[in-house]
Amino acid sequence: MQGVSETESTETVGVAGGRRPYIILLCVFLISCFMAYGATNLSTSTEFREFLPEDSPAIKTTEEFESKFGSANTEIILVKAENVTKANVFRAIDELENGLRTNPELQGYIVKVKSYVDYVLPHLPVDIALLLDPQLENYIQLTLAQPAVANFVDRILSDDQSSALITVSTATGLSSEERARKTEAFIGFVNSFDENNENLALGVTGEQTLHNEIFGLMGRDNQVLIPAAAIFVVVVLFLVFRRLSDICIPLLVVGLGALWALGAMAWLGLRFTMIHVALVPLILGLGIDYSIHMLNRYYEERGKGAPTGRAIWKCTRTTGVAVALAAVTTMIGFGSFMVSDLPAIATLGAFAALGIAFAFLLSTTFLPAVLALRDRRGGKVKALVARRGKRVDKMLSAAAIGAERHGKLIVAVAVLVAAACAFSAYGIPTTMSFETFLPADIPAMVTLNEIEDQFGGQSVIVVLARGGVRTPEGLQAMFNLENAVLADGDNLITGSMSLASIISQTTGGIPPSEDAINAIIENENLLDPDQRSRVLSDNVAVIYFYVNAKTDQEMAGATRIIREHVRENLQNSIDLSIDGEPAVGGEPVIISEIVGTISSSMVRTTLLALLLCLAVLAVVFRSPVLGAVALLPMVLTIGWEFGTLRALGWSMDVLAMGISALIIGIGIDYAIHIIHRFREEQRKRRPELQRAIRTTVMQVGTALLAAAATTIGVFGVLALSGMPAIMRFGTLTALVIFFAFVSALVILPSVLVMRVRGRK
């Protein structure tokens, strides 16, 4: 029997909606206006650093580096030609660079443009316009043959001279909107130049270019996925209720719930990230269930001849309690995300839980208020739900009864399969990279892969050094660290650059005195000002390590090597730490830290969701055993989830890691409605277990099927996403929800009957 306080509170809410509909509608309207205004100011972000806490050493190091040396990443233009050192291509590259530097649209965005051309120009005896093509090509080859130049152009000019890189450093401190807009202008300028030059082919990639692609996909997904999900829900609601108002009311309920969640996010100053694309479909797919169950019971009572007020009172007193319990457990499932070490995951869970709370609140206040106004004149309301779908009800109840007759065998097989699937979870890789969110065939990714194939990885890991960076001891310590990392990095770490290595290459070694070092630093003929600004700022120096890593596992390996060597040198003559940890930063480090927290976060959130749901169910049902019985289908489903992940050959990413906790909150709803109605029927027909099971499934089966169909369909719609991670998340979640529905409808009745018979 449900707790009295819970029944009374739910009943009070429902009666308030039925008796004071105008007050409820006014409150909902005012709140919706407030949240809608906030939602219009919701900012977005595609930065990977949003996934880590701000006090993470990697984040602090990266931000300090950017504040002193500019952006850690640059936009890259890949130049391809038969021979990029030919005079016509050389002149075209020089023209492109000058155009980028002087373009009015790019003022304040481009800080520096650099290519092999900029290392050749200072060695030309006269202006480039005064040289004939053969003369220019001769000077180019002579300059590239000089060791001092060759060391710098090695990473930006291919060995066969068929391709070259132009690196474009961009300004920091721009707003995300301004940066995205100027990046689009930059890409447009390069593409236009490419179209007007037949002698070369250009491709653009880089961190902000890729972020713009993700942002574009997010926008297209929002424009496609939300309407597609809404259309699917409309179709299901039409098949269930066959009444226009019964389609519009649930949609309005979940639409307002999603709007309130987005508005709350904006008012709290949080940003909409890549994974929050799933937030609205989550609320839409789950929140619609509450309206379906409430409407289903309302029409059941109207079919028995109850007037509007009585039907509202009855459905809130019975189904409303089950809906309240389902909402609480779903909120627990999402709320468990808040213990994740990844802030974006934590905020997704928090606002999904908040959206579910809003959907529940509206289902038990706004929906009864609308029903009370719509049906206030009384009259005979067609009991559509009471009459329609009897064939479906009978099929579902027959399946439940048939499964109950072979209950022990079915449960045993289900447990064995789930155990085998859970065992297969060992060895499932984790992943996090741009390829997680971007298709491999978009131009920016194609260009990035070409650059990595020809020039090695373009990712950069930075190490900050403070203290005596201008002393012989400090420079020698940095130089030794570079060599140690390169020796240990195999093919992962392909090069490095620092003040120490530049001075060593320029003078043939580390000068013996601080005065000699400062003289070199201040001599523009020995140390180019651009180079100096890249490696030294006041008394802070930076060591760049170039990482040839295409996967997050390779990034994690490179990060581990660098961190280990930095940790060994923390007590050296220079300070290589931040908050007592190695001052190592850059996007590869951020990505490797995200990957490192995926598995632990998944285990923690899943266990927390299980324990909290068990505690709530044990209290409400007044039986820890019955609470465990309700969770059994979810435990089996989690096992089947890992087997599905393994069978599909997919890795565990930041979205997939939350499905286990998510499915507990979603799937437990089915078990709650079955158990709640089974106990209600059992009190009426205590000796007739099969009749109680049959009546339970016949009364709630269609509503459960409709709820499951809408949830599966909404998540299935995510498979249309242009982002691979969202597509996998939607597909896998839809499959797992189907597993949860089947296990609740087939396995749970068998376990309930076995429990009752065992108690007897």
CATH number at residue 311: 1.20.1640.10
Residues 84 and 35 in one domain: no
* pLDDT at residue number 748: 82
| Confidence at 740, pLDDT banded by 50, 70, 90 | confident
Number of structural domains found in the chain: 3
Helix (H) or strand (E) run with residue 469 in it: none
pLDDT at 255 over 60: yes
Question: In this structure, what CATH number is given to the domain that contains residue 122?
Answer: 3.30.70.1430
The tens digit of pLDDT for each residue in 443-498 reads: 888 888 888 778 766 678 889 988 888 888 888 888 889 888 888 877 678 778 88
Using CA atoms, how far residue 737 sits from 46, 465, 615, 657, in Å, is 29, 51, 22, 15
Q: What is the mean pLDDT of the chain?
A: 79
In a domain, 758, yes or no: no
Among 212, 229, 264, give the residue marking a domain's end.
212
Residues 90 and 142 in one domain: yes
Residues 266 and 208 in one domain: no
User: Alpha carbon 563 to chain centroid distance?
Assistant: 27
What's the CA gap between 739 and 736, in Å, rounded? Answer: 5
Residues 281 and 380 in one domain: yes
In a domain, 98, yes or no: yes
Residues 191 and 319 in one domain: no
Among 591, 622, 640, give the residue marking a domain's end.
591
Instruction: Determine the average pLDDT of the residues in 652-676.
Output: 74
Using CA atoms, how far residue 667 sits from 88, 355, 397, 738, 749, in Å, is 65, 17, 19, 9, 15
In a domain, 422, yes or no: no
Amino acid residing at 14: G
Higher per-residue confidence, 221 vs 416 = 416
| Confidence at 69, pLDDT banded by 50, 70, 90 | confident
3-state helix, strand, coil in the chain (%, to 5): 70, 10, 20
> 111: which residues sit within 8 A by CB, 6+ positions away?
70, 169, 170, 171
**Per-range mean pLDDT, top range of 235-244, 285-294, 362-371, 383-392:** 362-371
Q: Containing domain of residue 179, as a range?
A: 73-212
Instruction: Determine the average pLDDT of the residues in 202-214.
Output: 84
In a domain, 602, yes or no: no
| Confidence at 34, pLDDT banded by 50, 70, 90 | very high
Please answer whether residues 675 and 752 qualify as being in contact, where contact means their C-beta atoms are separated by less than 8 angstroms.
yes
**Per-range mean pLDDT, top range of 95-109, 288-302, 542-556, 581-595:** 95-109
Instruction: Determine the average pLDDT of the residues in 706-717.
Output: 81
Helix (H) or strand (E) run with residue 498 in it: none
In a domain, 688, yes or no: no
| Confidence at 705, pLDDT banded by 50, 70, 90 | confident
**Per-range mean pLDDT, top range of 59-63, 432-436, 599-603:** 59-63
Residues 113 and 157 in one domain: yes
Residues 381 and 284 in one domain: yes
* pLDDT at residue number 43: 66
| Confidence at 2, pLDDT banded by 50, 70, 90 | very low
Residues 447 and 558 in one domain: yes
Higher per-residue confidence, 723 vs 159 = 159
Residues 458 and 581 in one domain: yes
The tens digit of pLDDT for each residue in 270-319 reads: 766 655 666 676 777 777 878 887 887 888 788 777 888 888 888 888 77
Please answer whether residues 335 and 355 qualify as being in contact, where contact means their C-beta atoms are separated by less than 8 angstroms.
no
In a domain, 409, yes or no: no
Among 591, 614, 648, give the residue marking a domain's end.
591
* pLDDT at residue number 391: 63
Beta-carbon neighbour count of residue 466 at 10 Å?
Answer: 17
Please answer whether residues 207 and 186 qualify as being in contact, where contact means their C-beta atoms are separated by less than 8 angstroms.
no
Residues 449 and 568 in one domain: yes
In a domain, 698, yes or no: no
Higher per-residue confidence, 336 vs 250 = 250
Q: What percent of the chain has pLDDT over 70?
A: 83
In a domain, 297, yes or no: yes
pLDDT at 52 over 70: no
Residues 25 and 128 in one domain: no
Residues 259 and 322 in one domain: yes
Instruction: Determine the average pLDDT of the residues in 61-75.
Output: 74
Instruction: Determine the average pLDDT of the residues in 556-576.
Output: 85
